[in-house]
Amino acid sequence: MIRTMPLAPEEIEYVRKALGREPSREELAILEAEWSEHCSYKSTKKLLRTLPTKAPWVLVEPGRDAGAIRLFDDVALVARIESHNHPSAIDPYNGAATGIGGIIRDVLSLGAKPVLLLDSLYLGCLDDDYARWLAKGIVKGISDYGNRVGVPTAAGQTWFAKTYNKQPLVNVACIGLVHPGKILEGRVEPGDIIVLAGNTTGRDGLLGSSFASKPLSGNEEDLAAIQVGNPFLEKLLIDALQEAFKKHVLRHVKDLGGGGLATAIIETAAQNNVGFRVHLDRVHLREHDLSAVEIIVSESQERMLLVPYRDKLGELLEILDRYGVEYSVIGYFTRSKRAVFLYRGIPVADLPVELAVNPPTPRREINPLPPPPPLPKLEADIVDTLIRVLRSPRVGSKAWIYESYDWGVGGRTIGVPGAYDAAVIWLRDGTLRGFAAALHGNPRYTRLDPFRGAALSLAEAYRKVASVGAEPLAVLDNVNSGNPEKPWQHAYTAAMIEGLAWMARGLGLPVIGGNVSLYNEDSEGNMIDPVTSVLVVGRVSDVSKVFPNSLQGCGPVLLAGITEPELGGSEVAEIILGKPVGRPPKPRPSMEKRVAQLAKLLAQEQLACSAHSVGIGGVLVALAKMTIRGRRGLEVSLKTVCEKCTAFEAAFSETPARILFEVKEDKLDLVYEYAAKLGVPVKIVAMPIKQEKLVIKINNYMHQISIDTLVEAYTWAEKNLVRPKGD
């Protein structure tokens, strides 16, 4: 295990000088975990400081296990996003499952009750046997863990591309609820007792944080870094902690995630300017021959650091006993500001806490990125292209994924997955209040232009939340990129964070948390397509008024926003040319805000009966999906969508800041009035028809497609690439 630690020679020399002696192997293991990219963010910390994090409604900023906002005066929303990329590439089932377990515990650490899971999956081509095996294992891991632990997985997105055939990206998020006054402050003092509760400590997950902070080797030793989950134990831990929260017996809780025991306690001590003494031989173990160093850095799952109030230790232990949750009282915090681990009474590690949490900052170079390949003039048969786009796994039905999730457990989820552009969750507190959440990322945009790619990913998640009628409030991000030691790869990381910061400021949204996953490159050292997954959460005042994205038959469909001839980085460009080409569309934060305000107003006054964000594939694809989901016909005028565009551009342009609204016939004048006041261009682009058809008007010709034909195309990928292949 020590041989695989990638501490740089200069870092080891730095430790020698700081200590004035040779570090012990336990100390080296501690520093390897703490100084890994996964835990320290040493290559990105400076970049991440550019993100806006403050707003009057922010209760917990980045730095804790999760972020928090004031959703309503009496309700706080707690959220966390995390990647489990490397583990899922080696062991897709356990890698994805333990990612779910980890983010649930992060939300628990603030005293919240987990109520929603989301996932953003970047998978390989489904016609590749290995990629399909990875995809199915990842989906099953998320499904089994979330279903068994009793938290619904009700929203997310899935992207398919060859770049992820062997190395998928798995980003997962969790949202919880708590009263604002009951958020755990994370404070500890000298003399406070340290309790380790939950699963036994074993050899699974050894140095997992280091494993996630270097390129995959493909060696058998990587398997030792994969954690194995136990959702039934996690459910017991959740229930025990919920009772402990209600009885106010805990002052601090922290997940044992990356870096295991060492990182959890050291980070707690650093945040509170204290030290600690921990007895490793008091830890409850799975294998009784574990060495001190293995106990320190094991990342066995379902374990949490608990710090009770001084007079509440007995009450805490009684609760844990009653729920059958194992625990060990392993030490206490001190005034020394030193991290001391003892094994059988002998100190095996004695480090300044300040040294452990402050690695030397590496020098990272950034090379200028080349411009994206130019986009040639695109023209093709519009009806044929629509069918081809709907058959794309990126656009088509994802029912094979969300049908495996228990999206309705807990009775809070409004509608089935896919019925709304964002997940809508009811508080179930005697009111109709709730929240909305959407997760989005676009690797194609990001590969072509990382600044625009990250900005547009945030814009799309924001728009999805807005399109149900919610008020977007906060952002969490997951930056997935390449090797920071290579200047051209690190340039993507820097540009994505810059684009994310720019768009967040433009939208007036704080970033309350996030994650960075680096070293995502193949065995030849080539970066797999980078992407920033963005989670946006928003307030819903009345869940009975949110917009579905299926046609309801109440009136014409209006397009809010401006359409430009922007096919760069689009789905149709890749389908026609066989590769991503061109510069992605221009982000438009000001228009995004105005369109979102219009959506909120239309929902409050019930002036529309459905809405759908325009994203990948453009307006025609969005309209086709509305007809598919509502089984109602439309007649579409492409000339109305964009007068200066060709019909092809009007159909498939991916210009952002656009939402389609199905407006009640007798409310059109009022909608026009509100849109004008907000400065939002609106126009009727489709009219309802009685036949179950999509009729497209192109240059005075009418092209008809039955809804059955659209459905056949929309479900083609899962029928032909997923389900026939068996389990």
Judge contact between 508 and 382, C-beta under 8 A. Answer: no
Q: 24 near 227, Cβ under 8 Å?
A: no
CB atoms within 10 A of CB 606: 14
SS3 389: helix
- What does DSSP say about strands 531-540 and 434-440: parallel, antiparallel, or unpaired? antiparallel
Dihedral angle computed from the Cα positions of residues 174, 177, 182 and 188, in that order, rounded to the nearest 10 degrees: 0
Q: How far apart are CA 667 and CA 113, in angstroms?
A: 41
Contact 490, 365 (CB under 8 A): yes
Do the bridges between strand 250-255 and strand 303-308 make them parallel or antiparallel, or are there none, so unpaired?
Answer: antiparallel
Outline where DSSP puts E strands in 301-383.
303-308, 327-334, 338-343, 346-352
- C-alpha closest to that of 184 among 273, 246, 117, 234: 246
CA distances, 494 to each of 7, 85, 192, 345, 592 (Å): 23, 20, 40, 46, 24
From residue 95, give the alpha-carbon distance in Å to each of 110, 142, 614: 24, 9, 33
Burial class (CB in 10 A: 0-12, 13-18, 19+), 243: middle
Catalytic residue among 38, 86, 279, 612: 38
Phi, psi for residue 682 in degrees, rounded to 5: -135, 145
Instruction: Give the CA dihedral 288, 292, 295, 297, nearest 10 degrees.
Output: -150
Structure tokens at 619: 């307006």
* Cα separations in angstroms, 36 against 187, 202, 283, 516, 674: 25, 21, 24, 12, 52
C-alpha dist (Å) from residue 457 to 368, 369, 533, 595: 22, 20, 7, 17
Residue 508 CB neighbour total at 10 angstroms: 12
In this structure, the strands spanning 423-426 and 511-517 are: unpaired
Rounded distance between C-alpha atoms, residue 134 and residue 149, angstroms: 23
* Percent helix / strand / coil, the chain, rounded to 5: 40, 25, 35
| Residue 38 annotated among the catalytic residues of the structure | yes
CB atoms within 10 A of CB 223: 13
Provide the residue type at 551 as one letter: L
Query: Quick one: angle between helices 619-630 and 707-714, nearest 10?
Result: 110
Note whether 619 and 653 are within 8 A (CB). yes
Report the side by side order of strands in the sheet with 434-440. Answer: 423-426, 434-440, 531-540, 471-480, 511-517
Q: Taking a C-beta distance cutoff of 8 angstroms, is the pair 194, 305 a contact? A: yes
| Structure tokens given for 443 | 């690797």
Q: Is 288 annotated in the active site?
A: no
Assigned token pair, 439: 């997760």
Which residues carry out catalysis? 38, 84
